[in-house]
Amino acid sequence: FEDVYVKLFIHTLEEDARDWYKALPDNSIDSWTEMKNTFMLQYGDKIDPRFILSEFENIKTNPNESIYDFNT
């Protein structure tokens, strides 16, 4: 599910954070752990990413809900 976390997280990024992600080299993030660490290095002093990342990791779909439906 790590790749799903990464893909969903990317869709939550806005403005500067989205621009930051788009500027990363292609295929430079290949796991959720790497995404968290890279994000923390970039934004750790600007926000409390522990709260944001822990909230994100606790998101769950409803029974019988697809990832696509959940994401829309």
DSSP for the chain? -HHHHHHHHHHH--HHHHHHHHHSPTT---SHHHHHHHHHHHHTTTS-HHHHHHHHHT--PPTT--HHHHH-
pLDDT tens string 1-41: 677 888 888 888 888 889 999 999 998 888 988 998 898 88
> 62 or 22: whose pLDDT is higher?
22
> 55 or 35: whose pLDDT is higher?
35
> 65 or 27: whose pLDDT is higher?
27
Domain residues of the chain, as ranges? Answer: 2-71
> 56 or 16: whose pLDDT is higher?
16
